[in-house]
Chain A
Amino acid sequence: MTDQTASLASFTSEAATKKLRKRHRAERRFQMYGIAAILFALAFLVFLFASIFSQGWTAFLQTSIKLPVDFSQEVINPSGNPDAEDEIFQANYVKLAREALYKQLGVDPNDRKARRAANELLSRGVDVQLRDMVLRDPSIIGTTEDVWLLASDNADALMKGSIDRETPSERRQVSDEQIAWIDQLVDAGNMKKRFNTGLFVNGASSNPETAGLGVALIGSFFMMLTVVLLAVPLGVCAALYLEEYAPKGKIADTIEVNINNLAAVPSIVFGLLGLAVFINFFGLPRSASLVGGLVLTLMTLPTIIITTRAAIRAVPPSIREAALGVGASKMQLIGHHVLPLSLPGILTGTIIGLVQALGETAPLLMIGMVAFVVDYPTTPLEPATGLPVQIYMWASSAERGFVERTAGATMVLLAFLIVMNSLAVYLRNRFERKW
Chain B
Amino acid sequence: MEAKVEDRPAARVETPAVPKESGDAAPAALGELKMKAKDVNLWYGQKQALFDVNLEIFDQSVTALIGPSGCGKSTFLRCLNRMNDVIDICRVEGDIRLEGQDIYAPQVDPVQLRARVGMVFQKPNPFPKSIYENVAYAPRLHGLCANKTELDEVVETSLIKAGLWEEVKDRLDQPGTGLSGGQQQRLCIARAISVNPEVLLMDEPCSALDPIATATIETLIDELKENLCIAIVTHSMQQAARVSQRTAFFHLGKLVEVDETSTIFTNPTDQRTQDYVTGRFG
Contacts and interface: CB of A to CB of B under 8 A. Distances in A.
A314 to B, nearest CB: 13
A323 B125 CA distance: 10
Contacts of A316: 125
Interface in A304-361: 316, 318-329, 332, 336-337, 341
B112 A327 contact: yes
Q: Which bracket fits the contact residues of A?
A: 20 to 34
A161 interface: no
A136 interface: no
Interface stretch (B6-14, B81-89, B218-226, B271-279): B81-89
B126 interface: yes
Given A318-B121, A328-B111, A435-B177, A323 B88 contact: no
A329 B111 contact: yes
Given A324-B86, A341-B128, A433-B128, A318 B114 contact: no
A314 B113 CA distance: 28
Contacts of B212: none
B141 A435 contact: no
A414 B4 CA distance: 73
Given A321-B121, A341-B128, A433-B128, A326 B141 contact: yes
A247 interface: yes
A326 B128 contact: no
Interface in A227-266: 247-248
Interface in B69-123: 81, 83, 86, 88, 111-115, 118-121, 123
B268 interface: no
B83 A324 contact: yes
Nearest to B114: A327
Contacts of A325: 81, 83, 114, 118-121, 192
Nearest to A332: B141
Contacts of B125: 316, 318-319, 321-322
B173 to A, nearest CB: 15
Given A247-B88, A318-B125, A341-B128, A328 B83 contact: no
Nearest to B194: A326
B142 A322 contact: no
Contact of A327 (B88, B175, B177, B195): B195
Contacts of B194: 326
Nearest to B88: A248
B254 interface: no
B55 to A, nearest CB: 20
A112 to B, nearest CB: 81
Given A322-B121, A324-B114, A435 B138 contact: no
Task: Indicate the member of A247, A248, A336 with the most B CB atoms within 10 Å.
Answer: A336
A434 B86 CA distance: 26
A326 B192 contact: yes
Main SS at interface, chain A = helix
Contacts of B121: 318, 321-322, 325
Contacts of B281: none
B276 to A, nearest CB: 28
Contacts of B83: 321, 324-325
A338 to B, nearest CB: 12
Contacts of B128: 319, 341, 433, 435
Given A318-B121, A318-B125, A322-B121, A327 B188 contact: no
Nearest to A321: B121
Nearest to A320: B86
B138 A327 contact: yes
A326 B191 contact: yes
Interface string A200-236: 0000000000000000000000000000000000000
Interface string B169-181: 0000001010000
B191 to A, nearest CB: 6
Contact of A323 (B115, B127, B142): B127
Interface string A170-189: 00000000000000000000
B165 interface: no
B137 interface: yes
A323 B120 CA distance: 11
B170 to A, nearest CB: 21
A326 B126 contact: no
Contacts of A326: 114-115, 118, 137-138, 141, 191-192, 194-195
B53 to A, nearest CB: 21
Contacts of B119: 321, 325
A110 to B, nearest CB: 85
Contacts of A320: 86
A228 to B, nearest CB: 27
A215 to B, nearest CB: 46
A143 B95 CA distance: 98
A324 B84 CA distance: 11
Contact of A322 (B86, B111, B188): B188
B190 to A, nearest CB: 11
Contacts of B126: 322
Interface string A268-293: 00000000000000000000000000
Contacts of B113: 327
28 contacts: A248-B88, A318-B123, A319-B127, A319-B128, A321-B121, A322-B121, A322-B125, A322-B188, A324-B83, A325-B83, A325-B114, A325-B118, A325-B121, A326-B114, A326-B137, A326-B138, A326-B141, A326-B192, A327-B113, A327-B114, A327-B142, A327-B195, A329-B111, A341-B128, A433-B128, A435-B128, A435-B175, A435-B177
Interface of A: 247-248, 316, 318-329, 332, 336-337, 341, 433-435
Given A321-B121, A326-B191, 9 more contacts: A248-B88, A319-B125, A322-B121, A322-B127, A323-B127, A325-B119, A327-B141, A328-B111, A435-B128
The 3 closest A-B pairs by CB, nearest first: A318-B125, A327-B115, A326-B138
